[in-house]
Amino acid sequence: MGTAAVMVLMVGVAGMSPASAQSAQAPVGLGTATSFAVLAGSTVTNTGPSVISGDVGVSPGSAIVGFPPGIVVNGVFHAADAVAAQAQDDLTTAYNDAAGRSPVTAVGPELGGLTLAPGVYGGGTLQITGTLTLDAQGDPNAVFIFQAASTLITASASDVSLINGADPCNVFWQVGSSATLGTGSDFVGTILALTSITAQTGADVQGRLLARNGAVTLDTNTITRPDCDVVPPTTTTTAPPTTSPTVTPPIPPVVIPPIVIPPIVIGPITIPGITIPGIGDDRPNFPNFPGFPGFPGFPGDRDDRGDRGDRGDRGDRGDERGRDEGQKDKDKDGNQNGHDKDSHKSYDNAEYKDHDKDKDKKDSHESH
């Protein structure tokens, strides 16, 4: 028996585990395809209220139909864009990685009823009827890889059960043709199909449906992309030294004293007295004040005697005219009372004397 034949262990009886333990496997690297719950090569088609948790994409095709009624949570659509194209490239790499893993334990077409330890299992056509149990045996990093040269088919109401720490992130199904998940089945793991994937009504998946060339067809399904965290190795962490925090004293408030503006006191204003000098005849000197009949005017300044001084003379002439009119009245009364011409003449002589006196005063005033 060749070396390859020795390393391929056949499991033909339900409930039977591999006869020998396989070497531990690393997870299959998905690259940028990790964020996708559904990825197709030609189209993504949905019927019914499917709920997809994770990205949904297609490349090189561009058709994504049936959303709504289907909905996408915790993800976005990528139709024929650079993200979907890169995810397809990474899917091809992952597909080839899974197909080349060894050593391989050969299994018959029916996996239902088996309990399998971590390892790589292969066959031409794989199917699940009933329950397939995957036992991690207490290792949270345990990896299960299934290689189907042709097809993968699960029956209605079938399921994949994980026990003892098995993780959906570490279960991979490499399919050389197409995969079909039966009605109402519960499936676990990431399907890497060369052609197409069909999830019939009510089939639920904890994992991913990734088809390289063909379509992904959905019908009222729940597909939840697992959150795959790598368990870090145990390390010793040295706590930083404890230091007392530097206490910054509070900054005292800035107090601005009130600004007092003293009252502005305006002292009394003293206006010096104004002295108006008189003139020779003790009359106040109001320059250029004209006279009127019966009241003499005031002459101008002594330096401005001309015409303005003459205005005051008009008052004197008015006074003389008044006296002449009074004299005429007296003469008339004297004639009526029987005064003779002599008495009249004597009166006239006296009047002329008074007139001469007034004339002298006038001449004296003008000389001033």
pLDDT in tens, 203-242: 999 999 999 999 999 999 999 999 886 444 333 333 444 4
Provide DSSP, 121-138: EEESSEEE-SEEEEE-TT
The residue assigned the tokens 């199904």 is 173
Whole-angstrom distance, CA of residue 241 vs CA of residue 166? 40
Tell if the pTM clears 0.85, that is, is over it: no
The pair phi, psi for residue 317, each rounded to 5°, is: -65, -35
Helical ranges in 143-208 per DSSP H: none
Q: Which residues contact 303 (CB under 8 A, 6 or more apart)?
A: none
- Please say whether the beta carbons of 75 and 53 come within 8 A: yes
Best CA proximity match to 123, nearest among 161, 83, 174? 174
Q: Tens digits of per-residue pLDDT, 26-77?
A: 999 999 999 999 999 999 999 999 999 999 999 999 999 999 999 999 999 9
With a cut of 70, list the residues of the chain below it in pLDDT: 1-23, 229-255, 257, 260, 262-368
